[in-house]
Amino acid sequence: MAGGRATEAGRATTAQLVPPTPSTAPAPPAAPKPAPTGLAEAQAAPPLPAPMPRGSPMGSSPGGPGRTGGPLSPPPRQPAKPVEFKTGDHVVYPTHGVGTVQGIESMSAAGHTLQVIVVTFDENRMTLRVPVNKAASSGLRKLATDGAMKEALDTLRGKARIKRTMWSRRAQEYEAKINSGDPVAIAEVVRDLHRNAGQPDQSFSERQIYEQAMDRLAAELAAIDRTDKMQATDKLLLHLKQG
């Protein structure tokens, strides 16, 4: 009996000394930590990059050498130097032709005092008053330079350019050229309508526009050459025949 008890006591002691065998099942994964929220999250988040301007590539400044947008805006135009008109000057007004400056007067309008250029037109016995500050925008100008008139005379020698459109449309274009006051544009009207001048198939309105353009161009040429309108007209017809 004593030996059996000793044997059981030894087994109990051995069982206490042997560590327990670990379980072979894997341990469950740890739950992820919640992401920071609120102020802490805003502080921890990296700052967003600044938006790039439209038309500018990455790494280049707007308007710099790497700009790929639209063209650069042109520099502001300098205001044109006002033209001075003196008494006795021959001038051209787009819708009335050649006139003569009679002087500069002061007149009251709507409680304001204006300086106006007084221009007379002998043929139609008309007097025109143009404000000095509106002279350029109204189209009032001095006589054409020798170079501009030479270009107009050379235009008369050119080949007529008749558009294949209705006469009413062409008549509007011709009248717009005449009223522009540009001697080259007026010469184009004379050149294009000269071939039918005096022909039976020429309409009344066509002949009227042709004579108006010829009269405007001859009047300015006569003022430049210091001759009369008849001699200026003969000079224009001579250039037309050379075309």
In this prediction, residue 76 carries a pLDDT of: 58
Does residue 6 surpass a pLDDT of 60?
A: no
Residue 16: its H or E element: helix 2-17
Q: What is the mean pLDDT of residues 57-66?
A: 46
What are the contacts of 132-135 at 24+ separation with CB within 8 A?
132/82, 132/104, 133/82, 135/82, 135/83, 135/85
Does residue 13 surpass a pLDDT of 50?
A: no
Structural domains for the chain? 90-142 (2.40.10.170), 146-241 (1.20.58.1290)
Does residue 111 surpass a pLDDT of 90?
A: no
Q: What is the mean pLDDT of residues 164-178?
A: 93
Does residue 2 surpass a pLDDT of 50?
A: no
Q: What is the pLDDT of residues 144-159, one digit of tens each?
A: 999 999 999 999 999 9
163 pLDDT tier (thresholds 50, 70, 90): confident
CA–centroid distance for 2 within its chain: 123
